[in-house]
Amino acid sequence: MNNISAGTCEPPLIESYEALLLRGSESASPRTSFDGEVAEQCELPLIDLADLRRGGEARRACAGAMARAASEWGFFQVANHGISARAFAEMRREQKLLFGAPFEAKVSSGVLNNSYRWGNPTATSVKQFLWSEAFHVSLAKIPHETCSYGYGYGDSSSLGVAVDKLAAAMSALARTLAGVLAENLGYTGNGFPVNCDDKTCFLRLNRYPPCPFAPETFGLMPHTDSDFLTVLHQDHIGGLHLMKDSEWVAVAPNPDVLVVNIGDLFQAWSNDTYKSVEHKVIANKKRERYSIAYFLCPSYDSPIGSCKKPSLYKDFTFGEFREQVQDDVKRFGYKVGLPRFLL
Ligand SMILES: O=C(O)CCC(=O)C(=O)O
Ligand SMILES: [Fe+2]
């Protein structure tokens, strides 16, 4: 990393990739290696949230369709979601400025609470390399002074405002969707998930630079999300793939809708009724791609529990789940996830 010239905004992906190639180790586990097949494009189930607001039979049908998609696909798209195109455009503008800042500034200026990541520091072969950079922002605190990254790029107030505004809108939407899905399984409590507020969640700003080794390279490796539910806004480039009936399928990109997926915690709480499905991003040779993900998470000390007895899973808190995931990634190079907690 010593040969980075001042002002270069790109992380040293090529250098790191080539260093891994030189190491020549092909020890990637089979579950993380690229299979080289071009996946078919699919249309995810599309849920019109205007029906939810209509109430009565329209709401019931909408909730039913959402629950079906959550159990058959683990994924769906929502239209008429109520978040303005302007809020996404403003965030995207800030996102582009932020990723356009010098690499050194992204790494060391402390911007967005030191949440910058790039590549895959634990990769032992090119099959595990990630052609992406991201700010994985805990919403516990985004003090506005950490929104400044100097070098004359961007200014603290507009980045902070865009993050706050979008996080609030995505939070409200994620909670509404989680509430409807929980209600569908008989939940009658107030607000779902419990112990979840604006400060326990995460916002992730992703950028996938053009990749000379595409499409044989991951932007993001196959994974499931360690949360209750994720809401994703992507641009028009495409690259997101998900596992459907044991095959990878590509999600047709549509910036006018949001992609929603069930996370591990919802799968556990729903006793496997809703599915936390593996997904990945394939890098693109020519075009850069941006996405924004909101992760609906409870506080670390929250017991996840189950809506049905007997539960398929041991009792665990979100903190215990995260710790186990981190331990497994350190020990094996990949996340084991929910199977660790099966009874
Ligand atoms: O960028 C995407 O399309 C997917 C992002 C994702 O899966 C994640 O951030 O967990
Ligand atoms: Fe994900």
Q: Token pair for residue 48?
A: 């019109």
- What residues contact 95, with CB distance under 8 A and at least 6 apart? 205, 207, 290, 292
pLDDT band at 6 (very low <50, low <70, confident <90, very high): low
CB atoms under 10 Å from CB of 99, counted, come to 23
| Cβ of 279 less than 6 Å from ligand 1 | yes
Q: Are 142 and 157 in contact (CB under 8 A)?
A: no
What mean pLDDT is reported for the chain?
91
Mean pLDDT of 13-25: 87
Q: Token pair for residue 23?
A: 């190491």
CB environment 203-221: b (16+ within 10 A), e (fewer): bbbbbbbebebbbebbbbb
pLDDT the model gives residue 121: 86
User: What would the DSSP string read from start to end of 241-302?
Assistant: EEEETTEEEEEPP-TTSEEEEE-HHHHHHTTTSS----EEEE--SS--EEEEEEEE---TT-
pLDDT, one tens digit per residue, over 202-222 is 999 999 999 999 999 999 999
pLDDT, one tens digit per residue, over 148-162 is 776 445 556 789 889
Distance CA 308, CA 298 (A): 20
**CATH architecture of the domain formed by 6-303:** Sandwich (2.60)
Tell which atom from ligand 1 comes closest to the C-alpha of 293. 9
Per-domain residue ranges of the chain: 6-303
Residue 32 has pLDDT above 90, yes or no: no
Atom 6, ligand 1: residue with shortest CA distance: 293
pLDDT band at 240 (very low <50, low <70, confident <90, very high): very high
E strands within the chain? 40-42, 46-48, 75-79, 116-118, 133-138, 202-208, 218-223, 229-234, 240-244, 247-251, 258-262, 279-282, 289-296
Q: Alpha carbon of 265 to those of 178, 230, 317: distances in Å?
A: 11, 11, 10
pLDDT, one tens digit per residue, over 73-112 is 999 999 999 999 999 999 999 999 999 999 999 998 888 9
Ligand 1 pocket: which of 201, 281, 284 to mutate (most atoms <8 Å of CB)? 281
Report the percent of the chain where pLDDT is more than 90. Answer: 78
pLDDT, one tens digit per residue, over 253-310 is 999 999 999 999 999 999 999 999 999 999 999 999 999 999 999 999 999 999 999 9
Q: Are 91 and 154 in contact (CB under 8 A)?
A: no
Q: Which ligand is nearest to the CA of 276?
A: 2
Mean pLDDT of 58-78: 98
pLDDT band at 187 (very low <50, low <70, confident <90, very high): very high
Distance CA 46, CA 274 (A): 17
Residue 29 has pLDDT above 50, yes or no: no
pLDDT the model gives residue 2: 35
Residue 16 has pLDDT above 80, yes or no: yes
pLDDT, one tens digit per residue, over 111-148 is 898 999 999 988 888 888 999 999 999 999 876 777 87
| Cβ of 265 less than 6 Å from ligand 1 | no
Tell which atom from ligand 1 comes closest to the C-alpha of 225. 10
Q: Token pair for residue 153?
A: 């790029």
Distance CA 336, CA 80 (A): 36
